[in-house]
Amino acid sequence: MKAVTMADVAKHAEVSKSTVSQYLNNRFDYMGEKTRIRIEEAITELGYSPNFVARSLKQKSTMTIGVIVANILHVFSTQVIRAIEDLCNESDFHIIVCNADDDPAKEKRYIDMLRAKQVDGLIVFPTGDNVPLYKRLQNDNYPIVFMDRILQEISIGSVLLDNYKAAEMAVKEFVRTGYRNIGIVSTPVNGITPRGERIEGFKKALESQGLPVNQRYIASANISGIQSTMKEMLALPEPPEAILALNDRVLFEVLKFAKKNQVRIPEDLAVIGIDDVAFAGFYSPTLTTIAQPAFEMGKKAAQLLLDKIRNNEKSCVSEIHRFEPQLISRKSC
Amino acid sequence: MKAVTMADVAKHAEVSKSTVSQYLNNRFDYMGEKTRIRIEEAITELGYSPNFVARSLKQKSTMTIGVIVANILHVFSTQVIRAIEDLCNESDFHIIVCNADDDPAKEKRYIDMLRAKQVDGLIVFPTGDNVPLYKRLQNDNYPIVFMDRILQEISIGSVLLDNYKAAEMAVKEFVRTGYRNIGIVSTPVNGITPRGERIEGFKKALESQGLPVNQRYIASANISGIQSTMKEMLALPEPPEAILALNDRVLFEVLKFAKKNQVRIPEDLAVIGIDDVAFAGFYSPTLTTIAQPAFEMGKKAAQLLLDKIRNNEKSCVSEIHRFEPQLISRKSC
DNA sequence: CTGTTAGCGCTTTCAA
DNA sequence: TTGAAAGCGCTAACAG
């Protein structure tokens, strides 16, 4: 194992530790040419590399942020993570990603762990069930931004999709292509922002299109229960002819269902999914989707967080940043 | 911001720092009941939470391992990561995931960064172009295990798929279902283990099935060039009737190609992919795949690494652990 | 059973 | 232009 420290370098170069430290932090202003070279040599000869942990302890900054996603199984999460990472790289920040698995207890553990690790800030897709904890973070003036979800009880800078519009786009597209009996399938709302807002937007859009809102066309079940829920819905005397899948995982279930029951898309059932899944472009039929600008959203969140970290405690505006969804029109409706 | 330290707790509870430390490390053996309670109260009253960074500095252990994947876009990578995380959780280890993006320079930066952060060990999917660096790590006796790939120049404990067998399974399945002219499409081999081995295994299997090895049926191109390569291959006087896609990303391109050119699967072209993609079960047709036991492989790698970390320097066996692929027979061949 | 003390490796005044 | 010294928050002998 390696054990060469700054002291070793200093000794080897015959200077003091502080001079080496200066060197490492690129403060050559007052450093003699010969000193610099000696240090340089000592470092390469010894194969020295600085210890971040020690530095972090002293500086009270780890140059690391934590990202807690509610559920890593969504494409959206993974795209956002990549965007955050990209932006952080530019500023020499590192990220630690944790997956709460939709479990508030897990989320809490991760938040505690990350704070113990002294990360400089947090981007979280809140599960929603840790309000006291979020409140404490906010009171401590700890840099944090929410992603994808907001909580009424609390105002923290957030970035999320214009979910109403996303649902509206889907409804309009269905209407444009001639459908009237339109359904939506979702996982249980449980106060989770995108789900609630998309269903809300769905109803509003139906109304503004002069279509009735049929509660039986609004289904919500756990991932594992979606298929049977769909079965029920399609067994209705007058079943829906079109289905909006609330997100990528729901879409998977809808497609599985269709495959298993030989429901033809779009002839028997038109489908639009929110989230542009990887295979949308070559599925049969190709899938009409509503894409989230995940990349820009991730960048924005990272930007907001880094700003907060830098301007510690001022400019802690807790605005909500909404992003525009995009309709990608293909052949499933 | 929070700033309550162990000293604060100690003062509040009217004991010394070391007693608090004992408490935190669950060494109650010699601690008075009343002392313990006073400390407990002080901690909750002050909202104290220990500083991992300080502890790590002292203990020279961060309870964190780094995972560097060659390319996060493969399902295999993500599944392995989840498995590693699961196993680490059990031992209170944390993981930091980095994506080398198939770029050796990036890989090097990440390895250096993670070591600077004092992670206790590394699981890496080596890009292959950093042999000197790997050698140094090994010489430093730094805990490390390789995943998915091996390097002849170096012997480090590794876990990987039995790639020969995977290719063989595919060939046998094609033969069983009546195909003779079988091709394979890959990304450029570049000495990358799974690619080389799968192609090798493919040839061997062909031979042992008494089939000729036709070099024109062995294509290899960058992801973005796969479609045109396929076009060429299928324009051959006697084109292949079956294609083995070397991994999930290649499979995507094969499917895109088929869709775009109205090549029917399996009537015009049978397809098997290595890696069981999420939509394999509900694609049309459902896709025959060779699945990797990603979960067990991830667990194994984590297990090996944790063992190395614990038994520091002994038992550093550098065996190669091969895992059995599994054929999932569906309708694309 | 609890307190004292000496660092872990680094940064940062302040002097020289 | 460089060095000495203090200290970040925690742990671990060792004393008492």
Report pLDDT digits (tens) over A230-284.
999 999 999 999 999 999 999 999 999 999 999 999 999 999 999 999 999 999 9
| β-strand pairing of A64-69 with A121-124 | parallel
Neighbouring residues of A126: CB distance < 8 A, sequence distance ≥ 6 = A70, A107, A134, A146, A149, A151
User: Helix, strand or coil for residue A131?
Assistant: helix
Chain A residues with beta carbon closer than 8 angstroms to that of B96: 94, 96
Structure confidence at residue A140 as a pLDDT band (50, 70, 90) = confident
Three-state DSSP state, B264 = coil
Phi, psi of A271 (to 5 degrees): -135, 135
pLDDT tens for chain B, residues 1 to 333: 567 999 899 888 888 888 898 888 876 666 777 888 888 889 998 989 999 999 999 999 999 999 999 999 999 999 999 999 999 999 999 999 999 999 999 999 999 999 999 999 999 999 989 999 999 999 888 999 999 999 988 989 999 999 999 999 999 999 999 999 999 999 999 999 999 999 999 999 999 999 999 999 999 999 999 999 999 999 999 999 999 999 999 999 999 999 999 999 999 999 999 999 999 999 999 999 999 999 999 999 999 999 999 986 555 567 999 999 999 999 999
- Segment A99-113 shows an average pLDDT of 95
> Which of A240, A245, A237 is CA-nearest to residue A283?
A245
Q: Shortest Cα distance from B283 to chain A (angstroms)?
A: 7
B interface mutation test: which of A282, A283, A316, A330 has the most B CBs within 10 A? A282
What are the tens digits of pLDDT across the range A209-234? 999 999 999 999 999 999 999 999 99
Query: Is A321 in contact with A146 (CB distance < 8 Å)?
Result: no
Nearest CB among A47, A78, A282 relative to B255 is that of A282
Query: Per-residue pLDDT for A314 more than 60?
Result: no
**What is the per-residue DSSP string for A47-66?**
T----HHHHHHHHT--SEEE
pLDDT over 60 (residue A1)? no
Q: Minimal Cα distance from B282: which residue of A?
A: A256
Chain B residues contacting A, CB < 8 Å? 1-2, 47, 49-54, 56-57, 62, 72, 78, 82, 85, 94, 96-97, 99, 112-113, 115-118, 136, 140-142, 252, 255-256, 258-260, 278-279, 281-284, 286, 312
Query: Would you state the pLDDT for residue B16?
Result: 86
pLDDT at B2: 65
Q: Span A192-221, mean pLDDT?
A: 97
CA distance B63 to chain A (A): 11
Task: Report the greatest alpha carbon distance in chain B.
Answer: 89
In this predicted structure, what is the pLDDT of residue B17? 87
Q: What is the pLDDT of residue A281?
A: 97
Judged by CB atoms closer than 8 Å, whether chains meet at A52 and B118 is answered as: yes
The distance (Å) linking the CA of A130 with the C1' of D7 is: 36
Contact yes or no for A250/A187 (Cβ under 8 A): yes
**Residue B285, preceding bond cis, omega within 30 degrees?**
yes
Confidence grade of residue A2 (pLDDT, cut at 50, 70, 90): low
Q: Are B293 and B324 in contact (CB under 8 A)?
A: yes
Phi, psi of A272, deg, nearest 5: -130, 140
CA B316 to mean position of chain CA atoms: 20
